[in-house]
Amino acid sequence: MMSHANAHDLQLDPAGHLKHLLTVEGLSRELLTEVLDQAEGFLGVAQQAVKKVPLCRGKVVANLFFETSTRTRTTFELAAKRLSADVLNLNIAASATTKGETLLDTLRNLEAMQVDMFVVRHAASGAAHFIASQAAPHVSVINAGDGRHAHPTQGMLDMFTIRRHKGAFENLRIAIVGDILHSRVARSQIAALNTLGTGEIRVIGPRTLMPAQVESLGVRVFDDLREGVRDADVVIMLRLQRERMSVALLPSEHEYFQLYGLTEERLSTARPDAIVMHPGPINRGVEMDTQVADGPRSVILEQVSNGIAVRMAVIAMCIGTQNLRGQSAVGGLDD
Amino acid sequence: MDHAAVETAIAAMGIGLQALLERRHITAPLMVGIHTGGVWVAERLHAELALADPLGHLDISYYRDDFSRIGMHPQVRPSHLPVTVENRHIILVDDVLQTGRTIRAALNTLFDYGRPKSVILAVLAELDGRHLPIEPNVVGLHARLAAGERIKLTGPAPLVLVRGRAPAKPAPKTHQVEAAP
């Protein structure tokens, strides 16, 4: 797979508009804020009797999932449908040996069907970037999770949820707990939190589940949960990604819970108005206690609803206005 | 056109609306203003008519037919309809009516919230240049524009209708139209 060092160069068109969303790294604070502001507008569509707006009528969005997903795929599908786009869902089993060839073949076939956007999930880091670099000029690509690399829409929906509850990021203390090593979600969250100027970002977990030089990401590292969540405004729990662990990094899930599982008691050092987040799916009794997951500080289900609005914003920003991209916008509203 | 003239036009709209509602035997209409200028006018009319239900706000950005041409508005405010429009008599209020495209989009937006019993259209300023078969029921004033001239409502207080040459780029925080070519 290709290097993704230059992913952000691909992401914007010459006019600076979002063309692909592959990673939040390299995107400006203004652009991330625009995504959040647009999502705020799209949240209102869910209140309509007809939960649909005609922004992407006639566009075709293909969900290209080489890895299984329920929440991400369905919320992307709903987001596209609420924008009146047509949606193709393709669940393609990844082939380890012919990945590049399979990807390109799939891509060319879908382009021949006049698809306007690919939403890509893949087990290999850089897969979405590879597709974006190979896609026809009119096609946009959104990364819906690639290996351990990035999951930008999840990162942005978490930013959206935090902003709705806590406002500006400058004075916030945000703790991310768990398997940082395998988490593309954590990587996207940390990049977005840094760009948005978050006061303090903490990562908490066993050393075996921390990437090398994790401090260089601009975070404070804790190995004690109680200390790590002390005075936190937001506590983000990550899923233990056993499927990505090739060697024994953990003694047992039971022991993990003993040390890093979030309980109401351990949460008591956080700020009284702290919110608890989780990207799902939750391993109840492993990352967190059921009481916390279903408790008053949990915003986990709100994250799911917010995910639709944020994905609508990203889809609309990429393909909603592309018909006459490059032509200058005409001033004056036509009333 | 100065503030006093605008307020006089709005007062006249109030009287016109009252008479129309009586003629149609409508006792409890729901008023909805179109962002941004339409909401300003609607706030005045809402007070004028002393309506019981709170004022609704409609943002039509997602329903515009020139969306792909002008791009996404940087600040789309969610529409806010505090009361269901289902089976209600609606008074739709906008500041300026010219081509009728905004009203087309507003009607589509409104109908995605439910099925109103009827819709009355009230506009502060009516201009020539309709592109669509849409006519207002209540009009504050009729204006005529020279080629390249435009009119815009500035507000929210004081409300002033400003005539001027169309600039290259629309100024933010105002609602404006250019003369139809």
Q: Do A11 and A131 have their domain in common?
A: yes
ipTM above 0.85, yes or no: no
pLDDT band at B165 (very low <50, low <70, confident <90, very high): confident
For residues A194 and A218, the answer to whether their CB atoms sit within 8 Å is yes
Total domains present in chain A: 2
- In this structure, what are the phi and psi dihedrals at residue B123, rounded to the nearest 5 degrees? -130, 145
Q: Do A54 and A133 have their domain in common?
A: yes
Chain A contact present for B70, CB below 8 A: yes
- Which amino acid, residue A7? A
Specify if A160 maps to a domain.
yes
Specify if A2 maps to a domain.
no
CB contact under 8 A, A329 and B74: no
pLDDT at A283 over 50: yes
Query: What is the tens place of the pLDDT at every residue in A154-199?
Result: 999 999 999 999 999 999 999 999 999 999 999 999 999 999 999 9
For residues A146 and A98, the answer to whether their CB atoms sit within 8 Å is no
CB contact under 8 A, A333 and B168: no
| Residue numbers in B near A329 (CB within 8 A) | 69-71
Structure tokens at A159: 């930013």
Do strands B89-97 and B138-142 pair parallel, antiparallel, or not at all (unpaired)? unpaired
pLDDT at A330: 36
Q: Buried b / exposed e across B56-90, counting CB within 10 Å, b at 16+?
A: bbbbbbbbbeebbebbbbebbbbbbbeeebeebbb
Let me know the angle formed at the C-alpha of A42 by B57 and A23, rounded to the nearest 5 degrees: 150
Torsion of CA A29, A32, A35, A41, to 10 degrees: -50
| Residue numbers in B near A116 (CB within 8 A) | none
Q: Do A233 and A123 have their domain in common?
A: no
Specify if A29 maps to a domain.
yes
Give me the domain span that covers residue A119: 7-150+305-331
For residues A228 and A204, the answer to whether their CB atoms sit within 8 Å is yes
Outline where A3-112 has alpha helix (H).
7-11, 29-43, 71-82, 99-112
- In this structure, what are the phi and psi dihedrals at residue A10, rounded to the nearest 5 degrees? -75, -25
Torsion of CA A190, A191, A196, A200, to 10 degrees: 30
Mark residue A147 as left, alpha or beta (left: phi above 0; alpha: psi -120 to 50; beta: remaining).
left
pLDDT at A94 over 70: no
Nearest to B74 among A37, A322, A332 (CB): A37
Q: Do A112 and A166 have their domain in common?
A: no
Q: Do A209 and A129 have their domain in common?
A: no
Q: Do A295 and A188 have their domain in common?
A: yes
pLDDT at A99: 57
| Other C-beta atoms lying within 10 Å of the C-beta of residue A234 | 27
| Other C-beta atoms lying within 10 Å of the C-beta of residue A69 | 17
Nearest to B68 among A40, A323, A332 (CB): A323
Q: How far is B21 from chain A (nearest CA, A)?
A: 26
Query: What is the tens place of the pLDDT at every residue in B85-102?
Result: 999 999 999 999 999 999
Q: How far is A141 from chain B (nearest CA, A)?
A: 19
- Which amino acid, residue A77? E
For residues B99 and B73, the answer to whether their CB atoms sit within 8 Å is no
pLDDT band at B134 (very low <50, low <70, confident <90, very high): very high
- Give the residue from chain B lying closest to A44, CA to CA: B78
Chain A contact present for B96, CB below 8 A: yes
CB contact under 8 A, A50 and B67: no
Q: How far is B17 from chain A (nearest CA, A)?
A: 22
pLDDT band at A315 (very low <50, low <70, confident <90, very high): very high
Specify if A274 maps to a domain.
yes
Specify if A1 maps to a domain.
no
pLDDT at A98: 52
Q: Do A142 and A213 have their domain in common?
A: no
| Residue numbers in A near B75 (CB within 8 A) | 37, 41
Q: Do A124 and A257 have their domain in common?
A: no
- Give the residue from chain A lying closest to B166, CA to CA: A332
pLDDT at A309: 97
Query: What is the tens place of the pLDDT at every residue in B8-19?
Result: 999 999 999 999
Q: At what angle do helices A152-166 and A29-43 cross, to 10 degrees?
A: 70
pLDDT at A229 over 50: yes
pLDDT band at A325 (very low <50, low <70, confident <90, very high): very low
Mutation pick from B36, B68, B99, B104 vs chain A, by most beta carbons of A within 10 Å, is: B68
Compute the mean pLDDT over every residue in chain B, rounded to the nearest whole number: 88
Compute the mean pLDDT over every residue in chain A, rounded to the nearest whole number: 89
Give the mean model confidence (pLDDT) for residues A277-284.
92
Cα B159 from chain centre: 14
Q: How far is A15 from chain B (nearest CA, A)?
A: 12
Q: Do A156 and A289 have their domain in common?
A: yes
In the block, residue with structure tokens 């508009």: A17
Specify if A177 maps to a domain.
yes
In the block, residue with structure tokens 């209540």: B138
For residues A141 and A128, the answer to whether their CB atoms sit within 8 Å is yes
| Other C-beta atoms lying within 10 Å of the C-beta of residue B101 | 21
Q: Do A138 and A231 have their domain in common?
A: no
Specify if A192 maps to a domain.
yes
- A87 or B180, higher pLDDT: A87
- Global pTM reads 0.86
Chain A contact present for B66, CB below 8 A: yes
pLDDT at A209 over 50: yes
Let me know the angle formed at the C-alpha of B136 by B134 and B139, rounded to the nearest 5 degrees: 150
Chain A contact present for B36, CB below 8 A: no
Q: Buried b / exposed e across B130-152, counting CB within 10 Å, b at 16+?
A: beeebebebbbbebebeeeebbb
pLDDT at A95 over 90: no
Q: What count of residues does chain B have? A: 181
pLDDT band at A333 (very low <50, low <70, confident <90, very high): very low
pLDDT at A252: 82
Q: Do A73 and A181 have their domain in common?
A: no
For residues A161 and A299, the answer to whether their CB atoms sit within 8 Å is yes
Specify if A235 maps to a domain.
yes
Give the mean model confidence (pLDDT) for residues A243-250.
69
pLDDT at A328 over 50: no
Chain A contact present for B67, CB below 8 A: yes
pLDDT band at B167 (very low <50, low <70, confident <90, very high): low
CB contact under 8 A, A335 and B97: yes
What's the CATH number where A273 sits?
A: 3.40.50.1370
Q: Do A246 and A166 have their domain in common?
A: yes
